[in-house]
Structure 1
């Protein structure tokens, strides 16, 4: 999550791009709250694929979607 924030230009910018508040992104970065699957997919896209949705939200069954 920290890498994604760096790639897009910081936590505040990532929050704006995602339409969430900056504290939410900080909580995702710190691990205090899990990254929701829908946000993980968008973060992967915003980061140009340099950060994987599976790494951001490992509990979601991403492999089943690919089938």
Structure 2
């Protein structure tokens, strides 16, 4: 399961995740299908905030260590 799929499951559905992020569900679909699950860098923290899927899971290329980008109390 990809990190994006994990975030979708945590939110309940792609539609619910999109709603929580203030974007269309088609955008989620594009990330999943056209961009192979690659989440835009500016969406990493909003997704983390609503689902708990870590920045490292979502974008290991930008956050190579498991605790990168996490608040100090969660790291």
* Residues 1:21 and 2:49 are matched in the alignment: no
Gaps of 5+ in 1: none
Change (3 A) 1:21 1:54: same
**Alignment equivalent of 1:5, drawn from 2, 8, 12:** 8
Gaps of 5+ in 2: 71-75
How far apart, in 1, do the equivalents of 2:30 and 2:21 lie?
14
| Structure with larger RCO (C-alpha < 8 A, sep 6+) | 1
CA RMSD of aligned residues (A): 2.2
TM-score by length of structure 2 reads 0.65
How many corresponding residue pairs?
A: 63
* Residues 1:39 and 2:29 are matched in the alignment: no
How far apart, in 2, do the equivalents of 1:29 and 1:35 lie?
8
